[in-house]
Amino acid sequence: MDERFLSPEGEGAKMRIVQELVPGRQITLAHIIANPGEILYRKLGLDPAVDHTKSAIGVLTISPHETAIIAADIAIKASAAELGFVDRFSGTLILTGTVSAVEASFEAIATYVRDKLGFTVCAVTRT
């Protein structure tokens, strides 16, 4: 065995691997769930009595994660979509509203981060 690849402790010693998260500037997921079931609202921590009258849930992830705060601001200013959840630690944003409102918010977010911040933006998917 090549000595350059042996650990200082010798053969059989455990190798330690260091992993780092290097966030890109990108929207990695933008998905619209049309007509979700009431149980999905409950599992997401949303009030089904209020939110179930909406016809869509939008899920978006973005990095760097703190950009979710900016995306949330853009989303609620761009349409009648409502903020269901925002997490600056994971970059997750959940919106509720009509399909067209959630779609308009996603488009406004994508336009801003792509054109002003130089982000890479994924396509919006739907179920």
For 101-123, the pLDDT digits (tens) are: 999 999 999 999 999 999 999 99
Please give the residue range of the domain that contains residue 78.
26-126
Q: What is the pLDDT of residue 37?
A: 86
Residue 89 domain-assigned (yes or no):
yes
Supply the mean pLDDT for the chain: 86
Residue 95 domain-assigned (yes or no):
yes
22: left (phi over 0), alpha (psi -120 to 50) or beta: beta
Give CA–CA dist 75/72, Å, rounded: 5
* Rounded mean pLDDT, 77-90: 94
Q: What is the CATH number for 99?
A: 3.30.70.1710
